[in-house]
Every structure is written in structure tokens, then in C-alpha cells.
Amino acid sequence: MSTHSTPNRVLRLGIIAAVAAAIWWTPAPEGVQAEAWQLLAIFLATIAGLVLQPVPMGAVVIMGLTATVFTGTLPIRDALIGYQSPTVWLIVSAFLFARCLNKTGLGRRIAFVFIAMFGHKTLGLGYALGLADLVLAPGIPSGTARTGGVLFPVVRSLCSAYDSEPGPSSKRIGEFLMMTTYQIHSVTCAMFLTAMVANPLMRDLARAVADVEITWGGWALAASVPGVVSFVALPILVYVMVKPEIRRTPEASDLAQAELTGMGPMSRQERSVLAVFGGVFLLWVTGSWTGLHATAVAFLGLCVLIVFDVISWDDVLDERSGWNALVWFGGLVSMATMLSNLGLTEWFSGFVGGYMEGWPWLPVMAILVLVYLYAHYFFASLTAHVTALYAPFLATAVAAGAPPYLAALTLAFYSSLCASLTHYAGGPSALFWGAGYTDIKGWWSVGFAISVLFVAVWMGIGPLWWRTLGLF
Amino acid sequence: MSTHSTPNRVLRLGIIAAVAAAIWWTPAPEGVQAEAWQLLAIFLATIAGLVLQPVPMGAVVIMGLTATVFTGTLPIRDALIGYQSPTVWLIVSAFLFARCLNKTGLGRRIAFVFIAMFGHKTLGLGYALGLADLVLAPGIPSGTARTGGVLFPVVRSLCSAYDSEPGPSSKRIGEFLMMTTYQIHSVTCAMFLTAMVANPLMRDLARAVADVEITWGGWALAASVPGVVSFVALPILVYVMVKPEIRRTPEASDLAQAELTGMGPMSRQERSVLAVFGGVFLLWVTGSWTGLHATAVAFLGLCVLIVFDVISWDDVLDERSGWNALVWFGGLVSMATMLSNLGLTEWFSGFVGGYMEGWPWLPVMAILVLVYLYAHYFFASLTAHVTALYAPFLATAVAAGAPPYLAALTLAFYSSLCASLTHYAGGPSALFWGAGYTDIKGWWSVGFAISVLFVAVWMGIGPLWWRTLGLF
């Protein structure tokens, strides 16, 4: 937040205004309505705002929406259309679920259970932390809240338990645990529709751009095999590269057991959360058969949690991250929806399609994915990356003839996988980098190696699996 | 909140479910679609929930929405349609404006300025407090936040300054000041679209039921003359009935002056708020000419306040009342909108219209208004009253031949005026009653006398003014 200082702010607002003006005053290409072109100018300026953040994200988006109305680009109801999106409310609900996991201590308990079970060796400890992240992923749609909020304190205390602090002793075990936990979150984020905050945004964008409907179960199914393979391979790769000095960790398991003993048996509230989450996941997974919308299921879970006093209405109103996501996410959905409704998305596809005619879609898709992945070196937020690049890359892939559902899912997966690359890649990277266990060279080389692993798995095994599923 | 205890809760939830079941299993009348009738059952059960509050309002509404989706009554997007409503976001913005008034101390300053100017006599003190309430009303859409939050502490400290405490000394000045300040808020709430939280809800209901468009300026104009007349008459009536022992209060003026001196000159932030509010009001008042939507204007004001650091994004996310209003209000708007879209509102109007044929609309309207007003003896919240009764009463009035715009506004005014009646009438009544300066008999007799004054003014002078405006 310290980056929002005033002189800086004026400069940044100036750049954003310049982006808007430059596009606004460029004549609209033939076949594009004036409103669509104006909206594109405001939309791209908003994305510049998300990257530069002269004011926090939510405020940037409100400014964008205000601009659409005051310039006569959109009527007010269309500017607010995103707030009707069930996807937006799914995210708000998921933040409330995350609150339940934190508030009741169930999240920590799950981490300690896995450590007690698998944490006898250093590598096992890495898997234990990863498994905790994986189990929590469907219910905590924010890497910052999950890997940063729940797991980071556990990792940090494990490091201290082995006298592995930033500096020379970081090599004992700290660097390995920090890197593994952070890096594995790039995989868990990619595995579920509700595991990363921008995932549902991509579902909406995919609907608008490529006319495909991604369900919770469809996402999880397609991600499962490459996800599990990367999940298994990743700690080994980090282990080989980082070479932790401590290899056996029986104490970690004892420590976790002591923590669990200290926590006592599961409280009524924890059991309620577990039961509700079990039910919600079941209904999410079976959603494509039952026809129950994921958001309605989430609302039902929320109602049960409120009636059984697991979460109070005051807790709901206090869930600032949820309201934040509602505002910025809803506003972006408004703009994306209206860009599509005004025909710009279709025009862009046709425009790109003209150049793509006759090209084989497989190599085009492979190049698009690689560019999309490594473009994340230039972004400090997964959401900014998704907002800026997902729709045009998907439109291009589809224009080149790629099967729309496959292209939509593939790009969606890489939108999380790219988090491996840098120490500024997304929310939790600030925490894990800030802990001081790795230098930039260490992070970037491990991050790059992992990105190569991801490419191998998600471009090698992934397509075989998706072919088996009949996605193309 | 203490009323949400568990045994009570089960009983209340049972009653609500019974309401839903009773209507659900009653065969739908001819000409009503099954979905419309089912939605009516859920809607009325939701209103029963707002009255009984087994869980807080927001949770009741979420349950109602969940029920609409799980019963197959509404698709999820339709269940969320209210969250796209510009009216809902106007209310959220207004709560943020209220926060600015409180945070910067501008609200208190305004109260003390009026007291310093007009507070030399007891009656003048009443007017001073009323004027502060009137000036704050357009920007603080909640009686609880405005009259309760800003003014109540000022009133309470004035009482203490005159040694007027609950008990025998309450007659000195306390009872008069408490009653006047509370009662005048019934008038100020009626005077502006943004002065009471349910006012914009009625604008949406009026659009759905009677196809009339109420603007911010149109509301204020129609309410102005009867509003000012009741504003002037009310303190005199309370003065005559309550008979405060202290009649002259030069000390109050000095006290206010001292407070103002203590506050020092207006801060940059206060001046920013004043300037932004001035601009916002100007654009609201002129909205019907400029075509600028009230919500877009509010968003613009909000952007300016954020960029100039008067309100931080953290403040925005902390504004729990705003998020609360968003959830419950948006959900109610969803149901009301869909009842109308599914044709139930139209069917009801036709049904009532059949009985009303040939009746003269003026007496019908007068009876409807009186029943609507005094029905508030049975409600503990203005919003519950509005949600339950506004739409059917308006539909009946229109079916009887009343001019729709006139009927919509008239019922809207009485939705606030009815707050005079009881000590449980709405949010701030709990505070002013709880202060202990009046007994029930005192409150109910003054409240009833004031309701008669309101009827005289808003049924006598009101129609003359509205005729002058050409509303009928």
C-alpha cells in the first residue's frame, strides 16, 4: 500500500489517462462500433491501472466503470452487469468459506495432520505441506489467504524448529520448505475453479470469447492428471536443486503431533465446517449432472454455516477480501461482458482469424501458451495477467482453429502455473520471498526449472489426458 | 442481536417455513404462472423472516435467494439480478459518504454550527438539531447512522449540560430535545431519495409495479413543501405537548461555540468532503436535465474522495453497513423485479382492479394511505414495512385509478412519516427510547399527535402542491 504515495499517484494516473486517450483518439477499425472502441480504451486503461495501481484495485475498477458511464459509452445498468454474475458471488462465498477454515482452526489442523503423517523425512514434509495446500485449495480461492495465510506460518515455525533461519542456516531445511510450499501452490491454484481468484473470471471470459461453459467438475477433471503428476514431481525437483542439508525430520512429525494434541479433539464448529464442505464439494463435483449451479451450492453451504453459528453475519460483513473481490471482479466482468455484447470480441476473433487462415492450430496453440506463460515475467499479479491477456490469447487460439473448450482450459491452467517464475509473481510470493530464505538467483533458477517441468507435463501428458477425455 | 438465540431461532425458522409452505401448496390462482406463485411464497416467507429475524436480515435474504434457485423457481442469474441494480449501488455509495461525514467530523461540526446560530432558546435548539438532520439527510441514507450516530451524542451531551437526566429532571429539557430530534427525523427521511435506506427500494418497486421513474430531484421537489411545513410545525407541537421547564438556553450556544473553537478551522479533508458533496448534490438535483444517473454521480464523488485521500480503500472495505445493505437490499430487489417480470404484479393489479372498478380513486387512496401509515404499529423496521406493504398498496392505488407517479411518491413519503408512532418504529428509536427520557405513554401520545399533524399537512397541503407541480 506504500506504493500509493501522492506524487507517484499523479504520474501513474497520468499514464493511465494517456493509455485511454491514445486508444480513444485512434479511429476505430472498420466494423467496430464507436461504443465498443471507447469501452476498449477504458478497459485497457483499467488494466494499466491494475498494473500501476495509483489507487487500490477496487478503486481503479470503480473509476473505470464511472468513466464508461460519464463518457456515454455504457448505460449505468450495463456498467453494473458484472455484479449480477453468479461467478462473482461464488468468489465472495469462497472467501467466506476460507474465513471458516481459518476461524475454526481447521486449516491449521489439516496442515498438522499431514505433517504428522508424512513429515518424517524432509521430502515428505514438502509433500505434507503440499497436500494441505491441495486439500484447502477448492475452498480457499486466494493463494494469499491459503498458502500465505494458513501455510506460511506453519512453514516458518517448522524452519525455526530446525534452527534454519535466513542466512547461512537457510540451506539446512528452510529454503527447501519455503520454495516447495510456494511453488506447489502454482499447481494447486491451477487445479480447481475455486482455487485462485481469477479462475472464475476466466470461466466468464471463456463464455464471452469462445462460447464454452466450464463447470467446476469439468475444470477439476481436466486438471487432475497433469496436476497430480506435477504435484508429485515438483518437490523432487526442488529437493534436487536446493539440496537441503537436513534429510530426515522425525521431530517435525512429533511437533505436529504435539500441536494436534494441544488443539484437542475437533470442535463442533470444525466438524460442521468439515461436513458442510464435504457436502459442497460433492454438489460441486456432481454439478454437471444435477444441474445445480456452483454459486447456489455455495449459498446453501453458507446458509447452513450461518444457521449453525459457525460463521456469524458479523463475520460475513467483516470479510473485507470478499467485498474487495466483489467490487473489482464484478467491474471487470461488466467490462468484459459488454466488450463481448458490443461485438468487439467477435470482431477481434475475425480480425486475427484472417491472418491465421490455413495455419495448423497445434503449433499456433503451443506458441501462444509459451508466450502467455513467460509473459508473466512482466506481471506482478496473476489477475492483472489474466485480465490483460487471457481473452485476446483465447480469441487468437480459437481463430487459429483450436478446439475452444481445450484452448480455454489450457490457457486457464497456465494462468496459475506462471506463478512459479518470479518472486513478485503474485500475492503469496511477497511473503515467501520476504521471509529471506532464497536469493533472487535461487528463486529464478528454481522457478524457471519448474516452469520447464510444467511445460513438459502440461504439454506432454496434458494433451494425452485431454484426448482421452474427448476434449479434442 | 441477542434475539437470535437458538431455541427462538428454530421456532422462528419454523414459522417462516410454514408461511412459505402454506402459500406454496395453495393452488396458484388462474392466470398466475407456477414460478410466479412459488416466488411469491418464498418472497413472503423472506418478509416474515425480516420481521422475525431468526438470523440477521442479510442472511434471511440469502436464504430466500438460495430457496428460489434450489426449488427451480428462478435460474441463478435471475436470482442475482438485483445486484446489478444501480439503486443498490447508490445506497452503498451513500453509506460511504456517511462514513466521510463521520470520519472527518464534518457531521458534528454542522450540528454545532446550527446550535451556535439558533440555540439561544429551547425551541430554537430543537430547530437547530432538526436543521442539522435535514442538511445531513441527503448524504446519510440511514436514520440509525445520521440521527442515531451523529446527532444522538450531541443531544445527549446537551441534556447533561442542563442537568437533565432520565427521571424527574428529564422534564427540564431532555425529553423535549430527544423527542424533537427523533421525530423530526421522520420528516427528513421522507424528504430525499437518499435519506432513508428503503427509499431507493421504493423507487425500484414503483418502477416495477407502476412503471414510473422517480428521480432524485423529482422526489425532493415533491416532498419539499409538505416537508418544510411539517419541519416547521413539528417542534412547536412537541414543545406544547412536552412543556420543557427550561425555555431559554444561551449556554447551549456558548457550548457549541466552544466545541467549534476546539475543533479549529475546517481541515483539508472536511473541505474536500464539503466540496464533493456540493458537487454531488448539484448533479443529483439537475439529474433529470443532464441525464446523469444518480449512481454514476455518486461513483464519481467516491472516486474523487479516494484520489484525494479523504477516504481510503480500507475505509471502503470496512463499511459493513454498506455491504449489509448491498446483500439484503439487492436480494429483495431481485425478488421484486422477478415477481414483476413473471407477471405477478400485473396479475395482482388486474385482480384488485376488478374489485375497484368504478370506485373514485381519491377516497380509496386516502384510506390506503391511512391504513399504510398506521400499519406501522405492527412493524419494528421501516424496511420490513416497505418490503411487505409498499408494492401491493401501490398496485391497489393504481388499480383504483390513482395517478401512478403521485401514488408512488405519496406512499413513499408515508413510509418514513410512520416512524413517529412507536418507540420500536425503526433503527434510531431504540437509541432515543433507550436513553430513558420519555415513558411509553409520553412517546405514544406525542407520536400519535405528530402522525395527525403529518396527515393534516401531507393530505392537506401536499395535494395542493402536487397539483401545482402537475403530478395529477
B62, A318: Cβ pair inside 8 Å?
A: no
Residue A78 has pLDDT above 90, yes or no: yes
Question: What pLDDT digit, counting tens, does each position of A439-449 carry?
Answer: 999 999 999 99
Q: What count of CB pairs under 8 Å joins A to B?
A: 112
Greatest pairwise CA separation for chain A in angstroms: 70
- For residue B295, the chain A residue with the least C-alpha distance is A76
Residues A277 and A159 in one domain: yes
Residue B202 has pLDDT above 50, yes or no: yes
Q: Are A45 and A16 in contact (CB under 8 A)?
A: yes
Distance from the Cα of B470 to chain A's closest Cα (Å) equals: 29
Q: Are A442 and A175 in contact (CB under 8 A)?
A: yes
Asked, for residue B25, whether it belongs to a domain, the answer is: yes
Rounded Cα distance between B285 and B275, Å, is 15
pLDDT band at A116 (very low <50, low <70, confident <90, very high): very high
Q: How far is CA B2 from the centre of its chain?
A: 24
Q: Among A57-66, B78-87, B142-151, which stretch is predicted with the lowest mean pLDDT?
A: B142-151
Q: Are A184 and A192 in contact (CB under 8 A)?
A: no
Residue A335 has pLDDT above 70, yes or no: yes
Residue A380 has pLDDT above 90, yes or no: no
A84, B77: Cβ pair inside 8 Å?
A: yes
Average pLDDT of A64-74? 96
Nearest to B336 by CA among B193, B215, B204, B210: B204
Pick from B294, B320, B346: which residue ends a domain?
A: B320
B66, A317: Cβ pair inside 8 Å?
A: no
Residues A190 and A152 in one domain: yes
Distance from the Cα of B63 to chain A's closest Cα (Å) equals: 6
**What pLDDT was estimated at residue B8?**
83
Rounded Cα distance between B208 and B346, Å, is 9
Question: What pLDDT digit, counting tens, does each position of B423-433 carry?
Answer: 888 778 888 98
Distance from the Cα of B113 to chain A's closest Cα (Å) equals: 33
Rounded Cα distance between B85 and A248, Å, is 59
Distance from the Cα of B404 to chain A's closest Cα (Å) equals: 24
Asked, for residue B345, whether it belongs to a domain, the answer is: no
Q: How many domains does chain B divide into?
A: 2
B58, A313: Cβ pair inside 8 Å?
A: yes
B292 Cβ contact partners less than 8 Å away, ≥ 6 residues apart: A70, B283, B286
Residues B34 and B130 in one domain: no
Question: What pLDDT digit, counting tens, does each position of A145-196 carry?
Answer: 889 888 998 999 899 989 999 999 999 999 999 999 999 999 999 999 999 9
Question: What pLDDT digit, counting tens, does each position of A410-420 carry?
Answer: 999 999 999 99
**Pick from A83, A85, A323: CB nearest B323:** A323
How much is the mean pLDDT over chain A?
91
Distance from the Cα of B174 to chain A's closest Cα (Å) equals: 34
CA distances from B251 to A105, B123, B158, B159, B162 (A): 56, 14, 10, 12, 9
**Pick from A296, A313, A320: CB nearest B76:** A296
Q: What is the DSSP secondary-structure string of A183-236?
A: HHHHHHHHH-TTSSTTHHHHHHHHHHHH-----HHHHHHHHHHHHHHHHHHHHH
- For residue B9, the chain A residue with the least C-alpha distance is A307
Rounded Cα distance between B399 and B346, Å, is 10
Asked, for residue B127, whether it belongs to a domain, the answer is: yes
Cβ contacts (< 8 Å) between B295 and chain A: which residues?
76, 80
B56, A295: Cβ pair inside 8 Å?
A: no
pLDDT band at A1 (very low <50, low <70, confident <90, very high): very low
Cβ contacts (< 8 Å) between A318 and chain B: which residues?
320
The cell for A239 is 529437493
Average pLDDT of B177-188? 96
Residues A152 and A271 in one domain: yes
Asked, for residue B414, whether it belongs to a domain, the answer is: no
Residues A23 and A166 in one domain: no
Place of cell 454531488: B280
**Pick from B55, B77, B299: CB nearest A65:** B299
**Pick from A77, A80, A317: CB nearest B320:** A317
**Pick from A13, A79, A303: CB nearest B62:** A303
Rounded Cα distance between A139 and A136, Å, is 6
**Pick from B6, B59, B303: CB nearest A313:** B59
Percent of chain B with pLDDT over 90: 68
**What pLDDT was estimated at residue A150?**
87
A117 Cβ contact partners less than 8 Å away, ≥ 6 residues apart: A128, A253
CB atoms within 10 A of CB B163: 11
The runs of H, that is alpha helices, within B287-439 are 287-290, 294-307, 313-318, 320-341, 344-356, 361-374, 382-385, 391-399, 404-417, 427-434
Residues A66 and A167 in one domain: no
Percent of chain B with pLDDT over 70: 99
pLDDT band at A2 (very low <50, low <70, confident <90, very high): very low
**Pick from A56, A62, A77: CB nearest B299:** A62
Rounded Cα distance between A222 and A191, Å, is 8
Residue B212 has pLDDT above 50, yes or no: yes
Cβ contacts (< 8 Å) between B80 and chain A: which residues?
84-86, 89, 295
Residues A194 and A284 in one domain: yes
Tell me whether 0.90 is exceeded by the ipTM.
no
Which residues sit opposite B248 in a β-bridge? Answer: B121
Q: Are B421 and B407 in contact (CB under 8 A)?
A: no
Distance from the Cα of A48 to chain B's closest Cα (Å) equals: 17
Residues B48 and B188 in one domain: no
B323, A317: Cβ pair inside 8 Å?
A: yes
Cβ contacts (< 8 Å) between A328 and chain B: which residues?
none
Residues B153 and B271 in one domain: yes
A84, B83: Cβ pair inside 8 Å?
A: yes
Rounded Cα distance between B331 and A232, Å, is 45
Asked, for residue B329, whether it belongs to a domain, the answer is: no
B317, A58: Cβ pair inside 8 Å?
A: yes
Average pLDDT of B159-184? 94
CA distances from B154 to A276, A402, B113, B267 (A): 47, 68, 12, 21
Cβ contacts (< 8 Å) between A62 and chain B: which residues?
299, 302-303, 306
- For residue A5, the chain B residue with the least C-alpha distance is B309
Pick from B74, B102, B137: which residue ends a domain?
A: B74
pLDDT band at B7 (very low <50, low <70, confident <90, very high): low
- Give the global pTM: 0.88
pLDDT band at B1 (very low <50, low <70, confident <90, very high): very low
Cβ contacts (< 8 Å) between B329 and chain A: which residues?
none
Which residues sit opposite A248 in a β-bridge? Answer: A121
Q: Are A311 and A96 in contact (CB under 8 A)?
A: yes
B77, A63: Cβ pair inside 8 Å?
A: no
- For residue B71, the chain A residue with the least C-alpha distance is A292
**Pick from B56, B66, B84: CB nearest A303:** B66
Residues A164 and A214 in one domain: yes
Asked, for residue A336, whether it belongs to a domain, the answer is: no
Cβ contacts (< 8 Å) between A283 and chain B: which residues?
none
Distance from the Cα of A313 to chain B's closest Cα (Å) equals: 7
Residue B3 has pLDDT above 50, yes or no: no
Cβ contacts (< 8 Å) between A81 and chain B: which residues?
84
Question: What pLDDT digit, counting tens, does each position of A396-435 carry?
Answer: 999 889 999 999 999 999 999 999 999 888 778 888 988 9
Residues B115 and B222 in one domain: yes
Asked, for residue B19, whether it belongs to a domain, the answer is: yes
Distance from the Cα of B228 to chain A's closest Cα (Å) equals: 33
Pick from A263, A287, A320: which residue ends a domain?
A: A320
Nearest to A465 by CA among A418, A409, A400, A415: A409
Question: What pLDDT digit, counting tens, does each position of B91-134 carry?
Answer: 899 889 888 988 898 988 999 999 999 989 999 999 999 999 99
B59, A295: Cβ pair inside 8 Å?
A: no
**Pick from A58, A80, A313: CB nearest B316:** A58
Residues A67 and A97 in one domain: no
Nearest to B95 by CA among B142, B47, B31, B59: B142
The residue range of the domain holding A313 is 86-320
B6, A295: Cβ pair inside 8 Å?
A: no
Best interface-test mutation with B: which of A52, A60, A91, A299 has the largest number of B CBs within 10 A?
Answer: A299
Asked, for residue A23, whether it belongs to a domain, the answer is: yes
Average pLDDT of A24-36? 92
Residue A287 has pLDDT above 90, yes or no: no
